[in-house]
Amino acid sequence: MSSVLVSRLPNDIGGDPAGRVEQVDHVLEPWEKRCHALADVLDFHKIINTEEKRRGVEALGSEMIGKLSYYERWIVAFANILFQKGILTPAQLAFKMAEVEKRWTCASPP
Amino acid sequence: MEHSSDHAPHAHDHDEIAIAGHAGYYEIMETAVRELLVDRGLFGADEIRHQIEVLDSRTPALGAAVVARAWLDPAFRSRLLANGRAACEELGVTFYDDTQLIVLENTATVHNLIVCTLCSCYPRPLLGLPPDWYKLKPYRARAVIEPRAVLAEFGTVIADDVEIRVSDSTAMVRYLVLPRRPDGTDSYSEQQLAALVTRDSMIGVIPVLLKNGVQAP
């Protein structure tokens, strides 16, 4: 039944069987809140709008959607969309991530 | 945050407040993406800071104020149902995005429920950010196919002769439920009414209850 994979993309779950609604919630981590603010600012500046973000998450595929948390999916989708739009390159992001990690490692307690 | 040796004699092991000890891969990615875009001049670092303040300023109390006003002012209620966004803006609730708002009125014969099956769209300017359960599969998948069973999991039983309408949000169109005003609140002030109105009642998973927990008939 591979046709289901075509007719129902990973986000399209309305009507699917699923378990009980557990009334879970959590206070956002500071980086998660920054990620949300980043999404809004990207939308304000017409760099990535809400629907592009949603499709960007969907394009991660069902395995990543299943294994990454909500804001983890967002930031990875943003990176991919920025690559596609030619705003950033993977190499630039990799170098910047290494720089940030080094900066924080030096600043953190042992 | 240099850790020079002159810090060493100060030997108690309190947690550092400045930066978490173990930044994760995605947190590093968030910071890297943000800094690269700020370096490009695509937006200012102050815009992220400001938007965090905006997000922190949005709580269900804003939606509750809108509901209480609608209960007390029939003309406002009509404007709210005709154009949700414009009526909320009358009360000073700004919409920081370009979404439209449709307000769905619960009545004796209709109970409304909102969902976003595709993702997590939600009336954030009025309610703040959605709870995790709203974003997870069980609610998104089941609200549209078996709303009565979902409502029962929130302790809400809707009579069989009441129609349940489920509205599925999109990137551009968001919904808010206008719950029914509980009986026994004729003497309540606007502030007292607003205090009864909760986030979950504006999503539509529960009715508005009096403080003593008695459900409005």
What are the structural domains of chain A? 28-102 (1.10.472.20)
Nearest Cα of chain B lies from the Cα of A79 at a distance, in angstroms, of: 7
Residue B211 above 90 pLDDT? no
Are B37 and B111 contained in the same domain? Answer: no
Quote the pLDDT of residue A31: 97
Q: Is residue B9 part of a domain?
A: no
- The alpha carbon dihedral of B52, B54, B58, B63 has a sign of negative
ipTM for the predicted complex: 0.94
- Residue of B5, B78, B88, B116 with catalytic role: B116
CA distance B85 to A39: 21
Inter-chain CB pairs, A–B, below 8 Å? 172
pLDDT at A46 over 90: yes
Question: What's the confidence (pLDDT) of residue B97?
Answer: 85
The pLDDT tens digits for B6-47 are: 444 444 555 444 444 567 999 999 999 999 999 999 999 999
pLDDT in tens, B69-95: 999 999 999 999 999 999 999 999 999
Confidence of residue A109 (pLDDT cuts 50, 70, 90): low
Please give the model's pTM, rounded to 2 decimal places.
Answer: 0.88
CA of B14: how far to CAs of A104, A109, B11, B17, B23, in Å?
18, 10, 9, 9, 18
CATH number, domain containing residue B83: 3.90.330.10
Mean pLDDT of chain B: 90
Instruction: Single out the residue of B136, B14, B192 nearest to residue A26, CA to CA.
Output: B136
For A:56-75, CB contacts with B below 8 A are: 57, 68-72, 75
d(CA B6, CA B22): 24
B110-115 vs B163-168, strand pairing mode: parallel
Q: Is position B88 annotated as part of the catalytic site?
A: no
- Is there a domain that residue B14 lies in? no
Task: Based on the fold, state whether residues B71 and B106 are members of the same structural domain.
Answer: yes
Say which DSSP state A8 is in. Answer: S
Residue B157 has pLDDT above 50, yes or no: yes
- Domain span at B43: 23-57
- The model's pLDDT over A53-65, given as tens digits with 9 standing for 90+, comes to 999 999 999 999 9
Residue among A17, A22, A88 whose CB faces B36 most closely = A88
